[in-house]
Amino acid sequence: MKEVVEDLINQINRDNLQLLFGHGSYVKIADFRYSTNLKKYYIYAIVNATETDERVYEIVYPNGLEMLVDDAMKYIGITNPAITTGLNII
């Protein structure tokens, strides 16, 4: 399931990903779990961004990454996941 979400973000949402985080940026899903107690998916997504101007990240991170992950999850029929994020500037 991790790979499916990664592919959806990196392939289908490629234009939005590059607009937000720079050309050549990609998202890696580090953790993808389902909590049976809370009945929720927990996702830890890391964006490897190429934009070097850190002021951009004050505006688009983490909300931009959460939006991309949430869109991918809706595409496969999962609503309201709990999303945590990380940022690597490459």
Q: What pTM was computed for the model?
A: 0.84
ω into 81 cis (within 30 of 0): no
Q: Within 10 A of 77 (CB to CB), how many other CB atoms are there?
A: 6
Higher pLDDT residue, 89 or 76? 76
Q: Domain extents for the chain?
A: 2-89
Residue 23: predicted pLDDT: 92
Strands 40-49 and 26-35, sheet pairing? antiparallel
Can you tell me whether residue 53 is helix, strand or coil?
Answer: coil
- The residues, ordered by sequence, that sit 6+ positions from 32 with a Cβ below 8 Å of its Cβ are 1, 2, 5, 41, 42, 43, 44
Q: What's the CATH fold of domain 2-89?
A: GMP Synthetase; Chain A, domain 3 (3.30.300)
Render pLDDT for 5-55 as a digit per residue (tens, 0 to 9). 999 999 999 999 999 888 999 999 999 999 898 888 999 999 998 887 878
